[in-house]
Amino acid sequence: MRVLITGGAGFLGKRLANKLLQRGRLKDAAGRERTVEQLVLLDVVAAEGFADPRVKVVAGDICDTQLLNGIFDSGISSVFHLAAVVSGQAEADFDLGMRINLDASRQLLDVCRSSGRRPKVVFTSSVAVYGGALPDVVQDTTALNPQSSYGVQKAVGELLVKDYSRRGFIDGRVLRLPTISVRPGKPNKAASSFASGIIREPLQGEEAICPVSPETRLWLLSPRLAIESLIVGHELEAAALEGGRSINLPGVSVTVAEMVAALEKVAGPATVQRIRWQTDPMVERIVGSWPGRWDASRAEALGFSCDSDFEGIVRAYIEDDLPANQATEDRNTN
């Protein structure tokens, strides 16, 4: 079985690849357990850190149809489509967002169709497909009403995956991810970047700017559970998706103030003093349009799970990603 991960050099792509290499097996579209013979990691830059002979690293433009056709000529059975321009960047550069988030997704689906293999396709969507006047708890039946270019691009991508599945070209499943926190690494141009930055940077002894009010409510999922959810979504049989191909994943509903309180509980008051509050109207507008909670009962019934609370998310980041356990050092000096 050959598996393609787009965005394979990214933080989620690399973690997913490592998890799949550990598992060694996945179900194909017919529900049969098959050995993962090859993982193709496609990104604009080469994915690093893989010595496993099952990994093939491809650096190139996801919009290059010839490149995609060459990859599919090897016999791709499953696709995890993670490649995307993040929300803030898609808002700032309309053409780039449309090219990568929409045009490239359409091209990828067309190559899947041309392959004639009806591959499984896991498409990652977002809380950003919702917006406007929302109920306190968004339901599966709540209409999509994105308030950003990124949200529109993801919403259109969802519809394409559904239609290509209806026509029998792919076996698609759409996973609407909560905001992922805490992401390791450096800040990026996502509107939600602060949701990791206000935890990550203070724990590393650095200042962080929070561009939204403490009352802003977010729907969050840890990287650990995000990777688990991608695999659970892939392994679902098509019959489980008869109620709809788009699935709202479970998460933790928390205000920014509650996030900071959890950080203080774990790492002490000196750590949270590194957070500086400075409103950014664009970020506040985009993030404020997203739901702070949605009904994930269907996802839970299908086997998806979430973190117990945000304190647990902070502790998971410390265990998995924080260099030299600075949080413990900070706490012990307060």
Query: How many other C-beta atoms can be found within 10 angstroms of the C-beta atom of residue 333?
Result: 8
Dig out the tokens for 166 from the structure: 């209806």
Nearest Cα residue to 72 out of 104, 109, 43, 126: 109
Q: What is the DSSP pairing of strand 217-221 with strand 252-255?
A: antiparallel
* Contact call for residues 285 and 217 (beta carbons, < 8 A): no
Distance from chain centroid for Cα 333? 35
The Cα 165–Cα 173 span in angstroms is 9
* Contact call for residues 72 and 112 (beta carbons, < 8 A): yes
Catalytic residues: 150
Is 151 exposed, middle or buried (CB count within 10 Å of its CB: 0-12, 13-18, 19+)? Answer: buried
* Contact call for residues 173 and 123 (beta carbons, < 8 A): yes
